[in-house]
Structure formats: C-alpha cells, structure tokens
Amino acid sequence: MRIAIIDTSTTRAAIISDGLREAGLDDLVIIDSGGRLVAQLEAAAPEVVLINLENPSRDVLEEFFAVSRALDRPIAMFVDQSDAESTAAAVDAGVSAYIVDGLAKQRIKPVLDLAIRRFQAFARLQAELHEARSALADRTTIDRAKAILMKRRGIDEPAAYGLLRAQAMRSNRRIAEIADAIITSDALMGDM
Amino acid sequence: MALDRVRIGFLPLVDAALPILAREQGFAKAEGIEIELVRDMSWATVRDRLLYGHTDAAHMVAPLALATALGRGRPAVAMAVPFVLGLNGNAITLALPLADQVLDGDSLGDPVVLGARLKTLALARAAAGERLRFGVVHRYSSHNYMLRYWLAAVGIRPDVDIEIVTISPSFAADALAAGEIDGICVGEPWNSVAVDRGVGRIALVTAQIWRRGVEKVLAMTADTLAQRGDTVARLIRALHAAAAHFVDADSQAESAAILARPEYLAAPVDPIARAIGDRVRLVQGAEPVHVPDFMFQYREAANFPWRSQAAWLYSQMTRWDGTPFSAAEAETAQGVFRPDVYRAALAGSGAPLPGASSKIEGAIGGTGVAAGSTQGRLILGRDPFFDHRAFDPDDIPGYLKALP
C-alpha cells in the first residue's frame, strides 16, 4: 500500500515515516508541499494521503481529488466517515487522512492509528523542546537578577536567591517572573 | 456571571473582521459571550474543526457551507447560516505581464471591455498550448463562482480555454511572483499585498461582477444551532453591533490596527485600512481609488441571510460541478440560510428586518427600492450582475438554461 506524506515539517514527516516503516509499511512517498503538489501526487499515485491539519495545501488536495473523480480516476475521500470517533481523534491530533475509495476499513485503520500516535509523539517532542528552552531562558534570567541584587545590596548569591524566592512565594508568582521584573526595573532605573 | 464561551474558526482575511471586533471591542462581552478565535490556513481545516467540534462556529466561504450540507466531496452534515458576515470585498488581480496586455490607463477595468480583450488573449494562448491559469481560494468559494460567472459571460470557457486552480489566500502573491499563475481572485488584503509587492495589478473588484454578492457567512452545524439557540442569538446581536462599528468612519483606523495583529491577519496594516475604507490601490505606488460598495458589511441589512443568495450559489454549484439541477438539493441549500433565526435574534433591536426571505437577485436598478420590512426602514440599493441578468430563485432551471 503506497502512502504519501505531505508535511511542511521535515522532522514530523520523518517521525511518521519511521513509524510506518517499523509497522512494515515501506512504500512511502514524502511530498514537498512547497513544490507542485498536484504533479507530485499524480506521479506518486498513492492509495492513502496523510497531511497535517495546518497545511495550507489541504484545499489544493481536495480540489485535486474532486477533479480526479470527474476524470473517472480513483475517488479519494476524507478518513473513514462511518467512524466519527477515529476521525475526531485524527483531527484532535492534527492529522488528516485521505484514502482512495474502496480501500478496506481494516487496512486504513492501522495506518491512521499509527499516524495519530506519531503526530502526538511529535507534539510531545515539541512541548518538551519548548519546556527545555524556556527552562534555560528562566535560568539565565534568574542568574542576571541575582547578579543585580548582589551588586545593589552587597549580599552573596544564596542570600540573593533567598530574596527572589521569598518574594515569589509572597506574591504567588514564579521566581523567573520576579527575576524578570528586577531586570526590567534595573534597566529603567539605571544607576540611580 | 461566567461568560458563555464560543469558539470561532477563521482564515486571515479582512472579512473575518466582525467576530474579531466583536471580541476586541466588547460587543460579545456585552451579550455575555466570550469569543475565542481559532486561526487556520485552509478552508478544509476550518470546516473539519467545525464538524468535529473543535469550534462552535466558523467564518466560512458561503458555498462551502452549502457544499457541506449537500455532501459534495464528503458525507453530508446539516448546516446552518444564521448571519452573513459581509458582501463582496474581493478582487481579481492579474500578474503584471498579463495586466500590461489587457488593461490600460490607471483605473479599474470594465468587465465587458476587459473580458473581450482577455478572451482574445486566452484563446490565442490556449491555441499555443499554454492556457492562462487563474487561482481561486477554494473549489466551493464565491471567488470561484464570481470569476467563472464573469469569464463565461464574456465567452471564455473555464476549464477549457483557461485553467482554474486552488491556492491558499496567503500564498496567492507568492504564486503570482513565481509566475505559477496569471491571475487570482482572492479576498483582501491579499490582492493589495500582491500590488504592494509589485507582482500584480488589480483588474476588477467582484462588486463589479455582482454588486451585492454574498461572501463570508457565519456557519455552524444545525446541531449546534439546535442545542445553543440562545447563545447563537446573542452572538448574532454581538456581530451585528460589530458590523455597525466596522463601517463607522471614526473606528476604521483602529479596526485596521486590530486586524493587522500577529494573532489575527499578521499582515501589514496599510492594505487592511484601505480595504475597510473601500479604497483600492490598483498598481504599486499609485494613489488608491475609492470604489463604492467594495466591501459591504452592514448597510441595507447586508448581514441578512437571504434564501435567494443560497439559491444563486446552488445554481452555480450545479453549473460548474456538472451535476443536474435537483429541486431537493435546491431546497436543502436554501434551507441552510436561516433568516428566521436572524429575525428572532434581532427583533426589538432597531435593526431593519426584511419581511421576505427571498428576492429576485440582480433586479434592483436605478437608485434602489424600498423593501418591505417587519421592523425598521429598509432601502435596498442597486444589486445588478454586470451582464444585467436577474436571478429568480423560483426558476433555477430556467436561469441555468439561459446562461451561456
């Protein structure tokens, strides 16, 4: 079964195709949605197309399928419409699947389930990356705020950190937010 | 009191203004509603989020709401359109090399004159095996039908003499720049973005093709309307108030600044401000010209969902999908537009409410006519199609037979 993957994120496309290969589906075509989508799809002639929900080419894809039908070529449709639950799950995960009409439900279901899991894995990866990045940013902010406090108040690092933490607890805010406020006010007040 | 949450899907276009302003200017809050906006890049996604419950309502091209109810391209889902977000506001922009051949002077083209020139050129190109290629935003869009209506009326056969492809609004200017397409029919600010980038010239505005063409609608599933009728009524009142605010000259600059923000259109403020003010810059560097009725968001009960508008869109759908006319489908399509819900929501508000739910489209000439209304005074302005054909919703087969 040939599966086409249309994705603007090459990382996500790689994650999906790895999963499909592990499941023994190795007739995969990755389509560059920045290029001439229709020509590429025509050449690939896939039985299933996986595309992410955010992809602006989805309207182009639906047009292509509608025209293909008029030309008496295989009909493609949105994911198994009789199964609203798995369609909703797919939309939730951010994946849209189009399948060639007549493809047995038993055959498309595992592909779709896999795609959903892979999309979710990618989303988790993104979230973790974001978290790691913001944790790093927080650390830098706190270090700078500590340095300001140490200089202004003539205290050592543990004392500066203690001040930040105490203020955060009193005002029910994150330490990084307090640190950010100190940096901002320091920038505004200068050497006053 | 906790606010009633309504999630509304939209595409980054100037005519998404009413839900955005209803949220930002407090019209929704005044009705006890909190609007949450969900932006997408394709109409297919806006539709899917609506059908699978990610959103409660959507800013949607009117024909897509009808196509969804009729099960074109996917299984049918009963839909409801209780409010029209606006009329027109689109333009046809040509790539500069083509514009140079068919347009002269520095004013908007005349649909008949421009059409005749385009026909000569299109046929010559087709004979040479390199058909002109135009982009529209969706198969089931008013843009597709307006462009095709004009082309067919001037003797150009869409799909035969030229090619029409689908392209996402935000990428229209790129496609013109890359020479992939020769023209686009798209909503603002994307024509103006192409003009300001120096890759296209606005040739016509869609108001020249049909002076009162229905454009985006507030769409929802019939289930949502049935289950949340009271919320929908409040939403309609909030959107109606936002429409009055939108057309107020004093608020236009502020509205443009809001729409331009990264979370909404993420586009330059200048072309947005021009569109709101009915001013159109036709070519890079030129002084914008005033185009009366370019965008029509409030006057003359513009937000009223006339069943005859849905009927006209259905007539074009059968025409260009090549499906036979079906009285049952025509009824389903007209049934999507819900003038009854609009009337009930705005009763007692002072908004003019048409007494009829359907009218002959394109039949009002001269200085307009007074229309029967159950509330308020309503004058309907000129609404012709450029070829002066009128559309009688009670005789769609006759209308279709008379079209070229």
* pLDDT digits 0-9 by tens, B336-373: 999 999 999 999 998 999 999 999 999 888 778 888 88
Measured CA to CA, the distance from residue B376 to residue B340 in angstroms comes to 16
Lowest mean pLDDT among A50-64, A77-91, B273-287, B317-331: A77-91
- Cβ neighbour number for residue A133 with a 10 Å cutoff: 10
The predicted structure's pLDDT at residue B197: 94
| Chain A contact present for B160, CB below 8 A | no
Which residues are bridge partners to A33 per DSSP?
none
Q: Give residue-wise pLDDT tens across range B227-242.
A: 999 999 999 999 999 9
Which residues are bridge partners to B200 per DSSP?
B95
Lowest mean pLDDT among A100-109, A178-187, B37-46, B143-152: A100-109
The predicted structure's pLDDT at residue A82: 60
- ipTM for the whole complex: 0.86
* Residue B269, pLDDT above cutoff 70: yes
| Chain B contact present for A138, CB below 8 A | no
CB contact under 8 A, B42 and A59: yes
This prediction's pTM:
0.86
What would the mean pLDDT of A127-148 be, rounded to a whole number?
Answer: 87
The predicted structure's pLDDT at residue B286: 93
| Chain A contact present for B68, CB below 8 A | no
* Residue B311, pLDDT above cutoff 70: yes
CB contact under 8 A, A91 and B43: no
CB contact under 8 A, B42 and A56: yes
Under 8 Å CB pairs connecting chains A and B tally to 65
What would the mean pLDDT of A16-26 be, rounded to a whole number?
Answer: 85
Indicate if the alpha-carbon torsion angle A165, A169, A175, A179 is positive or negative.
negative
The predicted structure's pLDDT at residue A103: 60
Lowest mean pLDDT among A108-112, B168-172, B279-283: A108-112
What would the mean pLDDT of A141-170 be, rounded to a whole number?
Answer: 91
CB contact under 8 A, A78 and B45: no
The predicted structure's pLDDT at residue B181: 94
B51, B52, B144: which to substitute to probe chain A, counting the most A Cβ within 10 Å? B52
Q: Tell me what percent of the residues of chain A surpass a pLDDT of 70.
A: 84
Which chain B residue's Cα is nearest to A78? B74
CB contact under 8 A, B45 and A53: yes
* Residue A158, pLDDT above cutoff 70: yes
Chain B residues within 8 A of A54 when measuring between CB atoms: 40-41, 45
| Chain A contact present for B325, CB below 8 A | no
The pLDDT mean for chain B works out to 94
Supply the DSSP string of chain A, one letter for each residue.
--EEEE-S-HHHHHHHHHHHHHTT---EEEE-TTS-HHHHHHHH--SEEEEETT-TTHHHHHHHHHHHHHTT---EEES-TT-HHHHHHHHHHTEEEEEETT--HHHHHHHHHHHHHHHHHHHHHHHHHHHHHHHHHHHHHHHHHHHHHHHHHT--HHHHHHHHHHHHHHHT--HHHHHHHHHHHHHHHTT-
Which chain B residue's Cα is nearest to A84? B52
The predicted structure's pLDDT at residue B377: 85
Q: Give residue-wise pLDDT tens across range A59-111.
A: 888 888 777 765 554 444 555 556 677 777 777 878 787 776 556 666 677 77
Q: Give residue-wise pLDDT tens across range B92-142.
A: 999 999 999 999 878 899 999 999 999 999 999 999 999 999 999 999 999
- Quick one: which of B178, B162, B179, B172 has its CA closest to B91? B172
The predicted structure's pLDDT at residue B77: 93
What would the mean pLDDT of A176-190 be, rounded to a whole number?
Answer: 86
Which chain B residue's Cα is nearest to A52? B45
Chain B residues within 8 A of A60 when measuring between CB atoms: 165-168
CB contact under 8 A, A63 and B43: no
The pLDDT mean for chain A works out to 80
Residue A54 has its nearest CB partner, among B41, B43, B166, at B41
What would the mean pLDDT of A165-186 be, rounded to a whole number?
Answer: 88
| Chain A contact present for B138, CB below 8 A | yes
The predicted structure's pLDDT at residue A36: 78
Chain A, window 31-50: residues with a beta carbon less than 8 angstroms from a chain B beta carbon: 38
